Amino acid sequence: MIPASIARQRPPDGRLLVIDEQGVITHRARADLATLVRADDLVIANDAATLPASLAGVHLPTGGVVEVRLAGRDSLSPGEVTRFTAVVFGAGDFRTPTEHRPPPPALHPGDRLQLGPLRATVLAVLGHPRLIEVRFENPVAEIWEGLARHGRPIQYAYVPDPLAIWDTWTRIASQPVAFEAPSAGFILDWALIDLLRARGAAFATLTHAAGISSTGDAGLDRLLPLDEPYYIPASTARLIDACRDRGGRVIAIGTTVVRALEHAARADGSVRPGAGTATQRIGPDTSLRCVDAIVSGTHEPGTSHYDLLAAFQDGDVLRRMEHDADGCGYRTHEFGDSVFLTRSRMRRLKDPVLALAPRSDRKSDGDRYAIAEDPYGGLCCVQCHSRTWANRHEFPLL
Amino acid sequence: MSEEHQQALRVAITGGTSGLGLALVRELEERGAVVAFIARNREGVERVARDRPGAFGIVGDVSRKEDTHPLAIQVLGALGGLDVLVNNASSLGPVPLVPLADTDCEDVELALATNLVGPFRLTKALLGSLAASAREGRHPLVVNVSSDAAVTAYPGWGAYGASKAALHHLSRIWNEELASEGIQIISVDPGDMDTPLHARAVPDADRSTLRRPEAAAREIADLITGTVRGATGPFVARESEVVQ
């Protein structure tokens, strides 16, 4: 696919490749997204704002020039911005493709880095010469000021002009915790959100610290995605319960939303609200518990984002998607075209699980249902195949 | 973050080192809010930060486009979210005041940049956080500090009055548009106050006839706490109800 090389979040000719639950592909305009959303659906987006996470500076022991790309963090707490996981490059900047960037000087625990106004110490080298744990030595307010003033958005060579920070913020950007833009959300603007509501659908958010998408090093890329902290508001968890109860679909805007929701999902598809850290990889063997459809950028085979799509549809459907997207000139990467991928009706849970019914339908704490995946890709009662949980059955095993 | 409804009110105030802005920093902090304040002058920010160690001082110029997102990042980094934005920083235009016919274009542009475009940009950059606040069941609010010069045609106040009139109208339109998101944008006129800005505009004013900024700050703080905490129910006041 052709990389989208202009930093435009909603190009007027943007396209949307749609795959329904039977794996049938249609081509739409990106502006048509709202028409694919039904009255009972719930659309969930990642409202993380993007940090300017690329920090140019010097490796003090050698005087060598480095670019430090912040890539991970243990917590979303605004006060805990001292320690980060980071990927380090040698001389140069985004104009050189990452796979051609020289390595940084040899990094050792205790090495000092001067990154503009920020002083940092290498705490550990994490199994790869480019991957480190780093600690800022400035007070917290100075760290925020240093990131805000000195940092640049992480960027790749296929966009030739330097990105401004506002190029990387979605319309709904809130907490600055993402290291790269949660770019599936570029499709949203406030008018579209109003339109979703006008159609009777609900809109909710979570906050997920989207990590970096590529390091230019195959060995390092295999470690992606790194662990990513997230926060799911209680209001969002409640909207998910309500959506499941009325038989609507949970539509995730972006892979980060899928990763957070599935990490927090219980067997019955409801999610635990609050803070967590997504550590899992999602791929062809993953049984999705919560998410029914994803809106995503186009992704290329071999990336963790592409693997995640394989939880929604089988390999042959994804190969047809690739073939169609290539043949029709779809553009890829963060400013590119989009896909709307519905979970396949062919996928089945390997083993029906026994779990609690949605809380609102429980007569008492003892009310339990056996759950299976229904023909439309949602979770249903194994006894009557209902998704509305209106009928109650006895399950002697429980 | 998990105790959604018990969190302190998170407030950002521009022009927070003198006059009404400083009085608001103090008033809202004393009412238990977590406050970030913004001003251009680093010494002024550090002075207020020493006086109010609980408040977060941020250096930046709202009239500069390049400062918008760095300011937003620092506000959100300090507060972890936002419930209230007070766009208080203002530019008088040319001082001493001169008739419009003698006002340089650049002075009009600067007044518009500070009093209209700056609040627009900062509000827009922080809108995602305000919408998140609304989705978590709070009642987020943007307070744009206006003036009776936005309504009455005072000779000599052309650049300032025109920019405040535009800000007032922007507030009204945006408030209508954001109703579906649960965000209120209001414009308030705090009246003629005994502040450094007023002293620059009217150096020989009889200060005893001017309001204390602390009195206006209490009134705006009442408005904010009443609205955001829902103490008085859904707030529906329009600008006319709070004009002096």
pLDDT digits (tens, 9 = 90+) for A100-148: 999 999 999 999 999 999 999 999 999 999 999 999 999 999 999 999 9
User: With an 8 Å Cβ cutoff, are A174 and B72 in contact?
Assistant: no
Q: Is B37 on the interface with A (CB under 8 A)?
A: no
pLDDT at A376: 47
Looking at the structure, tell me whether residues A220 and A293 fall in a common domain.
Answer: yes
Quick check: is A259 in a domain? yes
Once rounded to an integer, what is the mean pLDDT over residues B192-198? 92
Contact B135, A205 (CB under 8 A): yes
Looking at the structure, tell me whether residues A328 and A202 fall in a common domain.
Answer: yes
Looking at the structure, tell me whether residues A241 and A146 fall in a common domain.
Answer: no
B154 is catalytic: no
Looking at the structure, tell me whether residues A181 and A324 fall in a common domain.
Answer: yes
pLDDT at A302: 84
Q: Which domain holds residue A363?
A: 348-398
Looking at the structure, tell me whether residues A240 and A200 fall in a common domain.
Answer: yes
- How close A204 gets to chain B, by Cα (Å)? 8
Quick check: is A323 in a domain? yes
Quick check: is A157 in a domain? no
pLDDT at A371: 54
Quick check: is A277 in a domain? yes
| ipTM for the assembly | 0.91
Looking at the structure, tell me whether residues A337 and A364 fall in a common domain.
Answer: no
CB-nearest partner of A194 from B72, B136, B180? B180
In this prediction, the residues of chain A whose per-residue pLDDT falls under 50 are: 346-367, 375-377, 394-398
Domain CATH for A75:
2.40.10
- Domain ranges for chain B: 10-242
Nearest CA in chain A to B133: A174
Quick check: is A217 in a domain? yes
Render pLDDT for B128-147 as a digit per residue (tens, 0 to 9): 999 999 999 999 999 999 99
Confidence of residue B166 (pLDDT cuts 50, 70, 90): very high
pLDDT at A175: 97
pLDDT at A373: 52
Looking at the structure, tell me whether residues A223 and A327 fall in a common domain.
Answer: yes
Which residues of chain A make contact with B2, given a CB cutoff of 8 A? 234, 273-275
Maximum alpha-carbon separation in chain B:
57
pLDDT at A47: 98
Which residues of chain A make contact with B74, given a CB cutoff of 8 A? 141, 144-145, 148
Q: Which of A92, A124, A150 is a domain's end point?
A: A150
Concatenated DSSP letters of A324-371 = HHHHTT-EESTTS-EEEEEPPTT---SS-EEEEPPGGG-SSTT-EEEE
pLDDT at A88: 97
Which residues of chain A make contact with B78, given a CB cutoff of 8 A? 78, 141, 144
User: With an 8 Å Cβ cutoff, are B73 and A194 in contact?
Assistant: no
pLDDT at A223: 87
In this structure, chain B runs to a length of: 244
pTM of the shown model: 0.89
Amino acid at B212: R
Render pLDDT for A310-356 as a digit per residue (tens, 0 to 9): 999 988 999 999 999 999 999 999 999 999 999 986 444 444 444 44
Looking at the structure, tell me whether residues A225 and A86 fall in a common domain.
Answer: no
The torsion region of residue A102 among left (phi > 0), alpha (psi -120 to 50) and beta comes to beta
Looking at the structure, tell me whether residues A393 and A282 fall in a common domain.
Answer: no
Contact A70, A178 (CB under 8 A): no
Bond before B96 cis per omega within 30 degrees: yes
Which residues of chain B make contact with A236, given a CB cutoff of 8 A? 135
- How close B104 gets to chain A, by Cα (Å)? 31
Q: Classify domain B10-242 at the CATH class level.
A: alpha beta
Render pLDDT for B208-235 as a digit per residue (tens, 0 to 9): 999 999 999 999 999 998 877 653 333 3
Looking at the structure, tell me whether residues A37 and A103 fall in a common domain.
Answer: no
Looking at the structure, tell me whether residues A76 and A145 fall in a common domain.
Answer: yes
Domain CATH for A251:
3.40.1780.10
Q: Which of B160, B167, B217, B242 is catalytic?
A: B160
How many domains does chain A fold into?
3
Continuous H helices in chain A: 140-150, 190-198, 218-221, 234-245, 255-264, 304-309, 315-327
Quick check: is A156 in a domain? no
Q: Which of A150, A184, A214 is a domain's end point?
A: A150
Q: Of B104, B183, B181, whose CA–CA distance to B142 is shortest?
A: B183
Render pLDDT for B88-120 as a digit per residue (tens, 0 to 9): 999 998 899 999 999 999 999 999 999 999 999
Looking at the structure, tell me whether residues A378 and A283 fall in a common domain.
Answer: no
Report the sign of the C-alpha dihedral through residues A192, A197, A199, A205, in that order. Answer: positive
